[in-house]
């Protein structure tokens, strides 16, 4: 059963912020929200994760709503190299890591 | 840097053969995972292991088995390969509650 819901595709102009939404309304208290991306023909790459506070690293920011039922991944200045499939996953510590269909983000020049 | 190494990048096997896909990680991670990826179906979890000798079925375990005798190594076994097991196979490892690291994948063709 899918634990997350994401739009199948999104477009964003190069240089603009890309905001990728994810719904995870059945998330439980010990589950973290993870984001990965996969560029064609490569293994998935970790981006960021969080429990309930907003998080930021050199790649992206993660905004989690107060009720934890949804989150948004923000790529602040998208480049053509950010074109990829982005996966939002919820997971507890020793759980399997289950990927959904993800969002295909296309950065337009 | 964390390294997850899959034994082969490309593999061609015959129908009915027993196939072993090996994955080794060098960071003492508790969790290890095997996935297959097919066009239009995304990444599907086959099996995972959260400790030595422990295994859990993922979403599509049929036709596969796994072995984890040592913490650093997680093997995926196709007992009798079939053409519908032609796919890209990806291995990953992670500690608890942190990110997973993926290998580069093995593209298996069963003829």
pLDDT in tens, B4-63: 999 899 999 999 999 999 999 999 999 999 999 998 888 899 999 999 999 999 999 999
Residues of chain B found within 8 Å of residue A87, distances taken between Cβ atoms: 43
Q: Is A43 on the interface with B (CB under 8 A)?
A: yes
Task: Tell whether the model's pLDDT for residue A2 goes beyond 60.
Answer: no
Per-residue pLDDT at A99: 86
Q: Which two tokens stand for residue A31?
A: 């589950």
Residues of chain B found within 8 Å of residue A97, distances taken between Cβ atoms: 31, 33, 45, 48, 92, 94, 100
- Separation of CA A89 from chain center: 7
SS3 B16: coil
Q: What is the mean pLDDT of residues A44-48?
A: 93
Residues of chain A found within 8 Å of residue B59, distances taken between Cβ atoms: 98
Chain A nearest CA to B91, separation (Å): 9
Task: Tell whether the model's pLDDT for residue A86 goes beyond 60.
Answer: yes
Looking at A13-17, B40-44, B79-83, B107-111, which range is the least confident one? B40-44
Reported as a pLDDT band with limits 50, 70 and 90, residue B2 is low
CA angle A34, B87, A42 (to 5 degrees): 45
* Chain pair A-B, CB pairs under 8 angstroms: 53
User: Which residue of chain B is at minimal alpha-carbon distance from A99?
Assistant: B43
Mean pLDDT over the full length of chain A: 92
A49/B100 Cβ within 8 A: no
Per-residue pLDDT at A9: 96
Per-residue pLDDT at A92: 79
Separation CA B7–CA B54 (nearest Å) = 22
Separation CA A87–CA A45 (nearest Å) = 10
Per-residue pLDDT at B109: 98
Place of tokens 């599509």: B60
Q: Which two tokens stand for residue A41?
A: 């023909």
Separation CA B73–CA B69 (nearest Å) = 7
Q: What is the mean pLDDT of residues B64-83?
A: 97
Q: What is the mean pLDDT of residues A8-35?
A: 95
| CB B43 within 8 Å of CB B90 | yes
| CB B77 within 8 Å of CB B67 | yes
Task: Tell whether the model's pLDDT for residue B78 goes beyond 80.
Answer: yes
Distance (Å) of CA A41 to CA B9, B14, B46, B106: 12, 24, 19, 11
Residue (of A26, A90, A17, A91) closest to A56 by Cα position: A17
Q: Is B60 on the interface with A (CB under 8 A)?
A: no
Q: What is the mean pLDDT of residues A11-27?
A: 96
Residue (of A15, A12, A26, A1) closest to A103 by Cα position: A12
Q: Which two tokens stand for residue B67?
A: 């072995």
Per-residue pLDDT at B92: 95
């Amino acid at each position: 059963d899918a634990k997350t819901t994401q739009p199948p595709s999104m477009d964003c102009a190069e240089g603009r912020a890309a905001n990728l939404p994810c719904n995870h309304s059945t998330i439980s208290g010990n589950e973290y929200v993870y984001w990965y991306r996969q560029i064609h023909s490569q293994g998935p790459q970790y981006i960021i994760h969080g429990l309930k506070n907003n998080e930021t690293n050199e790649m992206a920011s993660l905004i989690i709503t107060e009720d934890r039922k949804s989150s948004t991944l923000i790529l602040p200045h998208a480049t053509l190299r950010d074109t990829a499939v982005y996966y939002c996953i919820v997971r507890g510590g020793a759980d399997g890591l289950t990927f959904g269909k993800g969002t295909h983000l296309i950065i337009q020049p | 840097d964390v390294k997850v190494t899959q034994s082969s990048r490309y593999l061609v096997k015959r129908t009915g053969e027993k196939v072993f896909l090996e994955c080794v990680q060098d960071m003492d991670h508790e969790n290890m995972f095997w996935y297959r990826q097919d066009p239009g179906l995304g990444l599907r979890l086959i099996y995972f292991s959260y400790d030595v000798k422990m295994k859990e079925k993922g979403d599509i375990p049929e036709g596969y088995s796994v072995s984890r005798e040592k913490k650093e190594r997680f093997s995926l076994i196709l007992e009798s390969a079939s053409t519908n097991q032609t796919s890209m196979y990806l291995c990953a490892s992670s500690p608890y509650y942190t990110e997973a690291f993926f290998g580069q994948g093995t593209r298996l063709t069963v003829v």
